Amino acid sequence: MLNNRREFLTIFKKPIENQKVETEIRPPYGLSESLFHSECIKCEDKACQTHCEEEIIIIKSDGTPTLNFKNSGCTFCEECAKHCKNGVLSLDHPLYKEKLNASFYIKTDLCMAHNKTICFSCKEPCIDDAILFNGMFNPVIDMQRCTGCGFCVGRCPTNAIEFIPTILKEQEEC
């Protein structure tokens, strides 16, 4: 028996594993996509994954880290960067600090609120107040506020929140 409304809503949830991603969402504080491919593959201890408090960093078969928002999101705790020995993640370059390389959006055809069912599952975990509602329905993501933390992705009972990863641009040498 279902104990509450949230449990009831999860029966409509589609598996998140079926989403196809062409470009990966990288851990925060990344300096460039090329560094992920050249340096992460040399890393033996995978410290970014080991020290991730939310356990969202997974190491792909090519040896590079990516984020999985199925069960949680990024708190920008800085632990991944503090333990990165190869200089791929750095707290010294604030361009990518507290913002992930992705844009998030709500698919209105899948969103329960857009289909006139009261649901605030995405808004509740949003620590940046980036999900705005027009009344009780019609949520939108304010990309000026959204850091791409991903907490909303795993909480949506219908997987209506999707993202478009972007390639990290190469940093110019100072």
- pTM: predicted TM-score of the whole model, two decimal places: 0.78
Amino acid 23: pLDDT: 65
Does residue 14 surpass a pLDDT of 70? Answer: no
Does residue 173 surpass a pLDDT of 60? Answer: no
Residues 6 or more apart in contact with residue 138 via CB below 8 angstroms: 113, 114
Does residue 94 surpass a pLDDT of 80? Answer: no
User: Could you tell me if 28 and 89 are in contact, meaning their C-beta atoms sit under 8 angstroms apart?
Assistant: yes
57 versus 95: which is more confidently predicted? 57
Amino acid 92: pLDDT: 84
Query: How much is the average pLDDT of 73-101?
Result: 85
Q: How many CA atoms lie within 13 A of 115 on its CB side?
A: 9
Query: How much is the average pLDDT of 89-99?
Result: 73
- DSSP alpha helices (H): ranges in the chain? 5-10, 33-39, 47-50, 79-82, 151-155
> What pLDDT digit, counting tens, does each position of 31-75 carry?
888 899 999 999 989 999 999 999 999 999 999 999 999 999 999
What the chain holds in terms of domains, given with CATH numbers, is 7-165 (3.30.70.20)
Spacing of C-alpha 128 from chain mean position? 13
Which of 32, 46, 31 is closest to 92 using CA atoms? Answer: 31
pLDDT band at 7 (very low <50, low <70, confident <90, very high): low
CA distance 69 to 67: 6
> What pLDDT digit, counting tens, does each position of 111-170 carry?
999 999 999 999 999 989 999 998 888 999 999 999 999 999 999 999 999 998 876 655
Q: Considering just the CA atoms, what is the radius of gyration of the chain in Å?
A: 17
